[in-house]
Amino acid sequence: MRLVGIERARAVWLTGSVAVTLAPHAASLPSWLSAIAALMLLWQCWIVLHGLRLPSRWLLLIAVAGVMAAVVTTYRIPVGKDPGVALLAAFLCLKLLEARSPRDGYVVVFLCYFMQLAQFFANQTISTAGVTLLGTLVTTAALTTLNSNLLGTAERLRMSALMLAQAVPFMLILFVLFPRVDAPVWGLPANAFGGSTGLSDTMTPGSISDLTLSGAIAFRVRFDGFTPPPAQRYWRGPVMNDFDGRTWRVGTARMLSSVPYRVAGPRTFYELTLEPHNRLWLFALELPGAPPENAVLMSDYQLISKAPVRNRLRYSLSAYPALRGGLGEDRYVLQAAQHLPPDFNPRTRQLAQELRSANPDASALVAAALRHFLQSKFSYTLEPPLLGQHSVDEFLFDTRRGFCEHFASSFVFLMRAAGVPARVVTGYQGGEINPVDGYLEVRQSDAHAWAEVWVEDEGWLRVDPTATVAPSRVESGLAMAVPDRQLLPFALRSAFSWVREVRYRLDAANNTWNQWVLGYNPQRQKEFLQRLGMQAPDWHSMTVAMSVLCGLLMLGLAGWALAQRGRLDPLQRAWDRLSQKLAPAGLERKAWEGPLDYAQRVGVAVPRLASAMFEIARDYSGLRYGANAPATRDNAARRLIDKINRLHP
């Protein structure tokens, strides 16, 4: 069967929509399947271009069996999200190769729609939505070819765009009012976040400097009113208490039933949107007030969520920058904060003893240690030299080149060796205000580690040795603090201002998408609907509102369509009615058919109507195409309409 005319246009459009639909899937499908799909599409193109025959059904049957076996071998199980999508992708290509009738075409089109939806299984970014929209546009244009309508390419796309535009109001109503559930409907498996970057619950030399190579957003913050200056923006994350000579680990901490300090002093409100990192901890500006819902405050002032953060999480918090915790700190906590592994770093221990004997007072000791850091000509670098067994010794006395984890780790070691309780706090420091939407963006490259020491009558004090060595790190960010030639995420470099401008805009667009589309959870839906004036938006009232609005919209569109019809003259309406009357007998007038031809066709099919139809067609063509005086025209038209009404097929 060679393809000609409309068949060919149909095949071209269907192939195009399958290609546009499957292309974005290529990244998540197994590579062998992507390759096979591409080959099948090329085959189809070849068939269409050269007007060849479609492959035989036997061949396709064998291909179906082969693909199914391969998918089962690849995924082990034939059910589930990924194998399902893979199978459908293969079937879509195969269906295209056997698309002979319009019915096959419909199957291809609807499979395309479903596969476009399936893109959201893999990710839900704004660009995915854009790609999906493009696919839907092309597929809808392909759908028009199935209705044997002779249109040009531009006309098909225009019609498709028009149809999608008509769907927009319905989409908005459903989006805003469809009752939301907390978890994604298709229950993404936990491994979907396997690749998330972020801080971990251990810290070794190099673990944070590796992280700074990622320009990915860690979280975004919107301050309510006052925005703290960069040097005050310490976002507290995992607190490291246990040291084994090389690695710092999160220690044990108790869950607190209430905030352990009396909140006082100036207060900063903010709303934080955390990207999923598949860990329990939340980040908070020091020191946090009451914890958000589904989270608790630990005895080391860390916020811990009740479940790993696997979806983007938004929470509101207050912070008290002037507050200090731990005035009456527990004895066991303080003991644990002085513990050191024996047999490590003898030189540092000796330095600690010297400092201790010179400064019996703990505050003076801290100041003396910081002075030591300042005077010893340390340099702050993203590419520190490797360290051996006595890592703190080697860093403090030999290499003197390091990143924040080196400074924090050796400072805490020094303090503990001198008998002052101390611990490492990891988290993020700084962040950058996006001038486009005013959100503070904190990236992985803002990851930081600092120290906390406990001083009698003062409680836990934040000490950041990095800030002593490289003040620009906390005041202006990483890019200012490290030497020019070192590896940094491209976008952090300030040399290309237009790159930054573009990045700001992209980030702001992504943020809006995250906040309002992906982050439109039950709570935000409730807030939004209340702002719109719905008193108590619940499942029931939302369904009613949704139905009513959709119904009204439908009525509006129907009314508009009727109004368009009403503009036709009564004669034309009667003429159309005649065609509708005869439609059940399969004798509907074709859009291009002239009145006499129509009457003749009807007369041949139903001889009983021949003379009546002939009269009607003659009168109608006389009225519509003849030259007649307006006075006689109206009467003649009325008589004709009567005739049409009296005709009983």
Partner 1 sequence: MTLPAISRTIEQASRIILGKQSQIRLCLACLLAQGHLLIEDLPGVGKTTLAHLLAKLLGLQFQRIQFTSDMLPADIIGVSVFDRESGSFRFHPGPVFAQLVLADEVNRATPKAQSALLEAMEEQQVTAEGATHALPDPFFVIATQNPSYQVGTFPLPESQLDRFLMRIELGYPDRNAERALLQGESRRDMIAALEPTLTVGDLRDLQRAASAVHAADALLDYIQALVEHTRTSGLFASGLSPRAALALLAASRAWALIAGRDAVLPEDVQAVLPSVAGHRLKPAGESGGGTRLARTLIEAVALP
Could you list the residues that contact partner 1 (CB under 8 A)? 4-5, 8, 149-155, 590-597, 621-622, 624-627
Query: Which one-letter amino acid corresponds to residue 279?
Result: R
- Least gap, CB of 589 to partner 1 (angstroms): 9
In the bound state with partner 1, the residue whose beta carbon lies nearer, of 250 and 644, is 644
Q: Which residues, listed in sequence order, are joined to residue 303 by a DSSP beta bridge?
A: 282, 297
Gap between the Cα atoms of 310 and 280, Å rounded: 9
In the bound state with partner 1, the residue whose beta carbon lies nearer, of 155 and 398, is 155
Say if residues 282 and 309 touch (Cβ distance below 8 Å).
yes
- Least gap, CB of 166 to partner 1 (angstroms): 21
Query: Which one-letter amino acid corresponds to residue 573?
Result: R
- Least gap, CB of 577 to partner 1 (angstroms): 16
* Sequence-ordered list of residues with C-beta below 8 angstroms from that of 577, at least 6 positions apart, any chain: 644, 645
Query: Which among 404, 446, 507, 619 is annotated as catalytic?
Result: 404
- Least gap, CB of 579 to partner 1 (angstroms): 11
In the bound state with partner 1, the residue whose beta carbon lies nearer, of 522 and 626, is 626
Gap between the Cα atoms of 221 and 592, Å rounded: 62
* Sequential DSSP letters for 111-180: HHHHHHHHHHHH---HHHHHHHHHHHHHHHHHHHHTTT----HHHHHHHHHHHHHHHHHHHHHHHHHSPP
464 is catalytic: yes
- Least gap, CB of 592 to partner 1 (angstroms): 5
- Least gap, CB of 164 to partner 1 (angstroms): 21
- Least gap, CB of 585 to partner 1 (angstroms): 21
In the bound state with partner 1, the residue whose beta carbon lies nearer, of 155 and 244, is 155
- Least gap, CB of 627 to partner 1 (angstroms): 4
Of 217, 212, 232, 227, nearest to 479 (Cα)? 212
In the bound state with partner 1, the residue whose beta carbon lies nearer, of 265 and 626, is 626
- Least gap, CB of 19 to partner 1 (angstroms): 20
Of 382, 429, 375, nearest to 402 (Cα)? 382
Name the token pair of 550.
Answer: 């959709």
Q: At what angle do helices 404-417 and 362-375 cross, to 10 degrees?
A: 140
In the bound state with partner 1, the residue whose beta carbon lies nearer, of 201 and 576, is 576
What is the number of H-type helices and E-type strands within the chain? Answer: 23, 18
* Three-state secondary structure call for residue 442: strand
* Three-state secondary structure call for residue 451: strand
Query: Which among 300, 393, 446, 464 is annotated as catalytic?
Result: 464
Q: What is the largest CA-CA distance in the chain?
A: 124
Other beta carbons within 10 Å of 392: 27
- Whether omega for the bond prior to residue 555 falls within 30 degrees of 0, making it cis, is no
- Least gap, CB of 154 to partner 1 (angstroms): 7
In the bound state with partner 1, the residue whose beta carbon lies nearer, of 396 and 599, is 599
* Sequential DSSP letters for 18-75: HHHHHGGGGGTS-HHHHHHHHHHHHHHHHHHHHT-PPPPHHHHHHHHHHHHHHHHHHH
Gap between the Cα atoms of 286 and 189, Å rounded: 33
In the bound state with partner 1, the residue whose beta carbon lies nearer, of 157 and 368, is 157
Gap between the Cα atoms of 395 and 410, Å rounded: 8
Say if residues 271 and 512 touch (Cβ distance below 8 Å).
no
Name the token pair of 177.
Answer: 């009012």
What torsion do the CA atoms of 623, 629, 635, 637 make, to the nearest 10 degrees?
20
Name the token pair of 439.
Answer: 């959100």
Query: Which among 300, 448, 507, 619 is annotated as catalytic?
Result: 448
User: Which alpha helices (DSSP H) does 146-262 contain, by range?
Assistant: 153-177, 207-211
In the bound state with partner 1, the residue whose beta carbon lies nearer, of 395 and 620, is 620
448 is catalytic: yes
In the bound state with partner 1, the residue whose beta carbon lies nearer, of 330 and 597, is 597
* Three-state secondary structure call for residue 268: strand
Which residues are known catalytic residues?
404, 448, 464
